[in-house]
Amino acid sequence: MAHVSELISTDIDSYLKSHEEKSLLRFITCGSVDDGKSTLIGRMLYESKMLFDDQLSALKHDSKKIGTQGNEIDFALLVDGLAAEREQGITIDVAYRFFSTDKRKYIVADTPGHEEYTRNMATGASTADVAIILIDAEQGVLTQTRRHSFIVSMVGVKKVLLAVNKLDLVNYSQEVYNQIVSDYSDFAENALDLESITAVPISALLGDNVVEKSEKTPWYKGETIMQYLENIEVKNQRKQTPFRMPVQWVNRPNSGFRGFTGLIASGETKVGDKIRLHPGGNESTIESIITWDGKLPKASAGQSVTITLNDEIDVSRGDIIATSTDPCGEADQFQSRILWMSDDAMIPGRQYILKSNTQSATLTLGRLKHRIDVNTLDHLPAKTLELNEIGVCNISLDKRIAFDSYENNQTMGGFIVIDRLSNNTVGMGLIDFALRRSENIHWQKMDVSKESRAEQKSQIPKLIWFTGLSGSGKSSIANILEKKLQSLGKHTITLDGDNIRHGLNRDLGFTSADRVENIRRVGEVAKLMVNSGLICITSFISPFESERKMVRSLVLENEFIEVFVDTPLSVCEERDVKGLYAKARSGQIPNFTGISSPYEPPKNPEIRIDTTKASAEEAANQIIDFITE
């Protein structure tokens, strides 16, 4: 029996290689809390006397070993051990368990049922061939049952085994079982894209219909859980799709060897095949395929290889090597389905990082087309996505990437969304298709440059970005600053928060989503002003650090000057020139920054102004001194 330490040292591929003659089935167990997932896995291992390899967590390699020899595992000890993982906090990860029978080898993604761990369930489902969805016979079909079912369908799982568990608690009632199957079938028929749903009445605790047929359900004539898993035929989609290999490592020419290393994501290739490099479209032929064991004539999905080419073409980490006869698409705008995984809501207009295979790009989320209600599958209007919600929206990237639609190639059509500030994964997405405008809109090269416009004005263009609470003094300082700059012969433009909302942004309110869109639009306008050679002064509360960082990225680093007007909230309220704070305190103005909506102060602004110590005139002089220096 192999142990975790051996699996770590020899790699999972080596373990699977020892069972190459057997077919591999990947499945996931999912469902609501306490539906019996760990108990079912424990019973399957115990009853079928599988060759059980100790569990290997996807992110933790120190999993507790369960049992002794593979054929002598005590069932109670096994289940207690599996349940203990939950108590030890390992539920934050997906636990992948590896085992085999005489007929087949298995990888099961054991995921927690808690709603806050839906992200883990989605991760496990993304590589599964079959989903075992457990339902507590006493509880019936729950919201989490529907959510998990929708997610497995969304990520491409086509076969569902519906395990109606704890049937012993309802006296093995055929009527209860039939009602649950009917309820689930009604939901699935209208909502899910599945090839088959197979229902089995079980008691995971007592072993009924898990491995052996139960005498307590004489009315059930179908297969047991293990019979289903042993007999189900599953197509290997990754091998059937065109050849794709994301480049993870490039051996540079000065090393004496120029090869491109990566894990083949889909399809197969052989020496002499023509390939196309994405993005860019350069083509060549494969000269050799190299692995640790030596050169191979061909390789296929799931193998890590180094490829050398017959031509000297530029290849970098993040590029995709694809077959030239069926290449990837390339685009920078897509329609996508997104599962949100963060406690902080998804806000359209905010920038995140997209990571797809080895490719990464800056991602801007567009307005939501709709949110999907997992209970009714209705398409509902929404401005944001909350934790575990699913929606459809357009996304745009700062550069073109190689892709296939998720429907055609799950590896090339999937991506994760990463928060730019915390670096946490906050969502997962599936590409439906590239937007037509992505192909039809091209950047037009202009002969008159930003540099020539600035030279004409005899100045260096700048974006002076004022941020601070309402009433802090931003607009007053900005107004004086522009007059002083003009008196020095500088060409300027001021964009003020209130003034912009009378025209360009008059359609926006003050929700978090609208505030993000407000700053996005202003940032793009300010970029145009800087490109025209102007010194652009902006005065906006701009409460979120993420959006201020986004605007900074639109211009050159030495062109952006963040001015934090650091006036305490109590002082702003005392001033309250517009009477806004009083209205906010009385509840007349919702989403008011500093009262009912947060303000994230800059951590390292270029200039910090304390208006309790400096007048607006002195503050303007301080900024001019900074620019002059």
Q: Are 161 and 198 in contact (CB under 8 A)?
A: yes
Taking the C-alpha atoms of residue 110 and residue 120, their distance in angstroms, rounded to an integer, is: 9
pLDDT for position 191: 72
Q: What is the pLDDT of residues 271-306, one digit of tens each?
A: 999 999 998 889 999 999 998 888 999 999 888 899
Lowest mean pLDDT among 14-23, 39-48, 343-352: 14-23
**Residue 249 amino acid letter:** W
What's the token pair of residue 27? 């499945």
Q: What is the DSSP string of 102-120?
A: SSEEEEEEE---SGGGHHH
Name, of 6-20, 26-40, 552-566, the range with top average pLDDT.
552-566
Cross-sheet strand order for the sheet of 462-467: 492-496, 535-539, 462-467, 560-565, 607-609
Confidence at 464, pLDDT banded by 50, 70, 90: very high
Confidence at 49, pLDDT banded by 50, 70, 90: low
User: Given phi > 0 = left and psi -120 to 50 = alpha, else beta, which region is 49?
Assistant: left
In this structure, are strands 23-31 and 104-110 parallel, antiparallel, or unpaired?
Answer: parallel
pLDDT for position 78: 52
Q: What is the pLDDT of residues 246-272, one digit of tens each?
A: 999 888 655 567 889 999 988 999 999
Are 207 and 295 in a shared domain?
no
Which structural domain range is residue 423 located in?
Answer: 329-435
- The answer to whether residue 384 is domain-embedded is yes
Confidence at 74, pLDDT banded by 50, 70, 90: low
Q: Are 247 and 358 in contact (CB under 8 A)?
A: yes
Q: What is the pLDDT of residues 310-338, one digit of tens each?
A: 988 888 888 999 999 999 999 999 999 99
Q: What is the mean pLDDT of residues 375-395?
A: 87
Out of 208, 233, 258, pick the residue that ends a domain: 233
Q: What is the mean pLDDT of residues 340-354?
A: 88
Are 43 and 73 in a shared domain?
yes
Are 339 and 205 in a shared domain?
no
Radius of gyration of the chain (CA): 30
Under 8 Å CB-to-CB from 449, ≥6 apart: which residues? none
Are 38 and 77 in a shared domain?
yes
Are 163 and 29 in a shared domain?
yes
Query: Is the pLDDT higher at 56 or at 356?
Result: 356
- The answer to whether residue 303 is domain-embedded is yes
Out of 272, 289, 323, pick the residue that ends a domain: 323
Number of domain units in the chain: 4
Are 399 and 468 in a shared domain?
no
Q: What is the mean pLDDT of residues 529-544?
A: 93
- Residue 94 to residues 2, 109, 416, 433: CA-CA distances in angstroms? 20, 6, 16, 29
In the chain, % of residues over pLDDT 90: 40
CATH assignment of the domain containing 12: 3.40.50.300
Name, of 26-35, 83-92, 123-132, 534-543, the range with top average pLDDT.
534-543
State the catalytic residues. Answer: 542
- The answer to whether residue 444 is domain-embedded is no
CATH assignment of the domain containing 423: 2.40.30.10
Are 205 and 222 in a shared domain?
yes
- The answer to whether residue 549 is domain-embedded is yes
| Sign of the alpha-carbon torsion through 581, 586, 588, 592 | positive
pLDDT for position 281: 86
Are 294 and 422 in a shared domain?
no
Taking the C-alpha atoms of residue 460 and residue 592, their distance in angstroms, rounded to an integer, is: 36
- The answer to whether residue 593 is domain-embedded is yes
Residue 447 has pLDDT above 90, yes or no: no
Confidence at 432, pLDDT banded by 50, 70, 90: very high
pLDDT for position 237: 63
Under 8 Å CB-to-CB from 293, ≥6 apart: which residues? none
pLDDT for position 439: 65
Q: Are 307 and 245 in contact (CB under 8 A)?
A: yes
Q: What is the pLDDT of residues 393-422, one digit of tens each?
A: 999 998 899 999 988 888 888 898 999 888
Are 217 and 244 in a shared domain?
no
Residue 15 has pLDDT above 70, yes or no: no
Query: Is the pLDDT higher at 3 or at 585?
Result: 585
- Residue 470 to residues 74, 528, 592: CA-CA distances in angstroms? 66, 26, 9
Q: What is the DSSP string of 579-597?
A: SHHHHHHTTSSSS-BTTTB
In this structure, are strands 130-136 and 56-57 parallel, antiparallel, or unpaired?
Answer: unpaired
Residue 318 burial (CB < 10 Å; 0-12/13-18/19+)? buried
Are 106 and 179 in a shared domain?
yes
Are 191 and 52 in a shared domain?
yes
Out of 435, 466, 499, pick the residue that ends a domain: 435
- Residue 155 to residues 19, 336, 408, 605: CA-CA distances in angstroms? 28, 12, 12, 43
pLDDT for position 85: 46
Lowest mean pLDDT among 49-58, 369-378, 486-495: 49-58
Averaged pLDDT score across all residues of the chain: 83
- The answer to whether residue 445 is domain-embedded is no
Are 293 and 335 in a shared domain?
no
Residue 63 has pLDDT above 50, yes or no: no
- The answer to whether residue 447 is domain-embedded is no
- The answer to whether residue 442 is domain-embedded is no
